[in-house]
Chain A
């Protein structure tokens, strides 16, 4: 089991490395699809290494670590991971712009909308306003004399996001 965990972690770090290199050197147009393809390539690497080395490590375990402890730690990881994934799914369904647009098209009388029709049913101006209210609630920004400014927390957040967007070479287009 430990072998599987370590190899999976290795494959994931390999994915991160290739992902950053490709996004900097050959920025793809279909980014999400590229990430999925990269993950599949790394899973192939995982599979090859797993079957090549399994015979050598079978039954071996680190001193002081019992199989039961490893199983419990893995189980707790999955248990809280599922909670996180479930919560994230709620966020995606609730906040995403694109599914909301698809719902608006689907619930329109003729199941078709022009851009102007969509704007009348789903206002991005209102969405931006809601986002600003949310950020005010989270103390990321503050409103003074009709102008928004970042709080210290907001400045750190913005700085981190700018760094990550440059590092991953993404964002900005939306």
Chain B
């Protein structure tokens, strides 16, 4: 359990460093960039996490040597081991969902597939719009949000539900805090 506890504590430190660096503007990442912006964030996170790795190893050693977690857990090793497995499953499930999300929903993958399917494997932007219809995309996204309970439709108007409003506010706050721009 020392490994898990160390990972959580040092990762929290990593979040704080990332938030401070971006929030204070020490490193500026242009919000207008698209994939380049995400690449910069990935690089920054990797640097932070690798620099914090010695702290993780130190904390791990400290927790193991003092046996503080086992002492605190007492005779609850059954529950701790049970929860450990559930956390592992949850991590694997999360990784799979990210993969599933890319396969199912990625716009860029769909664009490449459409180009690959075209007769001479070349398409202008107008050709792309014919096979990947923007109106259908708007309809699918809006209907999906209505079905998922994030929006409701009244006449021609779409309104956020309580759930949708919560997601919208969190998204807006997050984008502002991390200077991500409008995105989407």
Contacts and interface: CB of A to CB of B under 8 A. Distances in A.
Partners in one complex: yes
Given A99-B168, A114-B156, A131 B111 contact: yes
B21 interface: no
A101 B142 CA distance: 8
Contact of B4 (A3, A74, A105, A112): A74
B76 interface: no
B134 A124 contact: yes
B73 interface: no
Interface in B95-146: 95-98, 100-101, 103-113, 115-116, 121-125, 127-129, 132, 134, 137-142, 144-145
Given A113-B158, A114-B157, A148 B115 contact: yes
B2 A71 contact: yes
A129 B125 contact: yes
Interface in B144-158: 144-145, 147, 150-151, 154, 156-158
A93 B178 CA distance: 10
Range of interface residues on A (Cβ < 8 Å): 35 or more
Contacts of A76: 3, 7, 56
Contacts of B56: 75-76, 79
Given A86-B15, A174-B137, A99 B7 contact: no
Interface string A32-47: 0001000100110011
Contact of B108 (A119, A140, A168): A140
Given A11-B89, A54-B81, A106-B172, A94 B3 contact: no
Contact of A148 (B38, B87, B88, B122): B122
Name B's interface SS.
Answer: helix
B34 A102 contact: no
Contacts of A173: 140
Given A46-B85, A82-B8, A161-B106, A102 B150 contact: yes
Contacts of A43: 86, 89
A156 B164 CA distance: 37
B103 A164 contact: yes
Contacts of B92: 8-9, 12
Contact of A112 (B53, B109, B159): B159
A105 to B, nearest CB: 5
A100 B182 contact: yes
A132 to B, nearest CB: 7
B138 A112 contact: no
A21 interface: no
24 contacts: A9-B88, A35-B100, A42-B89, A71-B3, A74-B88, A78-B4, A78-B8, A86-B15, A87-B42, A87-B45, A93-B180, A94-B37, A94-B183, A95-B184, A98-B144, A105-B151, A119-B138, A128-B125, A148-B124, A149-B115, A161-B109, A171-B105, A172-B110, A174-B105
The list of the 7 closest CB pairs from A to B, nearest first, reads A75-B3, A100-B184, A4-B85, A78-B7, A106-B168, A8-B88, A102-B168
Interface of B: 1-4, 6-8, 10-11, 14-15, 18, 34-38, 41-42, 45-46, 49, 53, 56, 60, 64, 78, 81-82, 84-89, 91-98, 100-101, 103-113, 115-116, 121-125, 127-129, 132, 134, 137-142, 144-145, 147, 150-151, 154, 156-160, 164-165, 167-169, 171-172, 174-175, 178, 180-184
